[in-house]
């Protein structure tokens, strides 16, 4: 059953709103979802919700949340540092609720930046999915030791240059997987279900 939850950011300064789903008392797999650019997105955006539904149907535990200044989460958008603290807190909340679970991260665009940074700093993250990642994020966070990484990239991304993203991905360390969606734009409009299915299929192979 899905429940609305509240938890404090990692520095204890900001009360955040989230939604937790676990079909069992001790899920073995949990995904934490980080949404797109906060001033324009939230945890209920179609792409996030499509992925949530597939995870739910496969029996995963799922924690999605609104970063600071979004929905009922307190605070204001900080451009990155505060949102890093929000994701760290969401991760800690998921671990508290499912201490035996393998934790995976999924982030979209701005959220992809966040999950890549956590991936780089936390070797216990089982697998990470970066959807439409900024090539700078790949350069900064994916060249050290990390768990399995999937980069889902849109051929017609309006914001990030495809060649720059591919170059940054090629420089990233293994294990890594590249998945290019032909004709797709940055938001994968009308392709959300396809991306969600591929994401969860890949995750379930990665955690075996």
* pLDDT tens, position by position, 71-120: 999 999 999 999 999 999 999 999 999 999 999 999 999 999 999 999 99
Q: 0.95 cut: is pTM over it? A: yes
Residue 68 has pLDDT above 90, yes or no: yes
Confidence band (pLDDT; 50, 70, 90) for 1?
Answer: confident
For the chain, give the mean pLDDT: 97
Sign of CA pseudo-dihedral 165, 205, 95, 18: positive
Element (H, E) at 156: strand 149-156
2-16 b/e with 16+ CB inside 10 Å = b? Answer: eeeeebbbbeeebeb
User: What percent of the chain is predicted at pLDDT more than 90?
Assistant: 98
Residues whose CB is less than 8 angstroms from the CB of residue 205 and which lie 6 or more positions away in sequence, other chains included: none
pLDDT of residue 14: 98
Residue holding tokens 């392709």?
191
- What domains can be seen in the chain, in order of their start residue? 2-207 (3.40.50.1820)
Residue 41 has pLDDT above 90, yes or no: yes
* pLDDT tens, position by position, 13-28: 999 999 999 988 899 9
């Amino acid at each position: 059953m899905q429940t609305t939850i509240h938890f404090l950011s990692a520095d204890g300064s900001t009360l955040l709103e989230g939604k937790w789903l676990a079909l069992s008392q001790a899920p073995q797999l949990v995904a934490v979802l980080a949404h797109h650019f906060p001033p324009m997105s939230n945890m209920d955006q179609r792409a996030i919700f499509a992925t949530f539904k597939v995870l739910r149907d496969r029996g995963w535990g799922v924690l999605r949340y609104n970063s600071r200044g979004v929905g009922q989460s307190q605070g204001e958008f900080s451009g990155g540092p505060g949102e890093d603290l929000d994701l760290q807190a969401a991760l800690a909340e998921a671990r508290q609720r499912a201490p035996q679970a393998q934790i995976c991260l999924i982030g979209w665009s701005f959220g992809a930046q966040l999950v890549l940074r956590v991936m780089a700093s936390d070797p216990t993250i089982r697998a990470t999915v970066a959807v439409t990642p900024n090539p700078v994020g790949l350069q900064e966070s994916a060249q050290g030791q990390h768990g399995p990484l999937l980069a889902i990239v849109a051929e017609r991304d309006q914001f990030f240059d495809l060649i720059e993203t591919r170059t940054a991905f090629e420089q990233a360390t293994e294990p890594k997987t590249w998945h290019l969606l032909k004709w797709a734009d940055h938001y994968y409009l009308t392709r959300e279900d396809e991306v969600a299915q591929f994401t969860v299929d890949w995750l379930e192979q990665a955690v075996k």
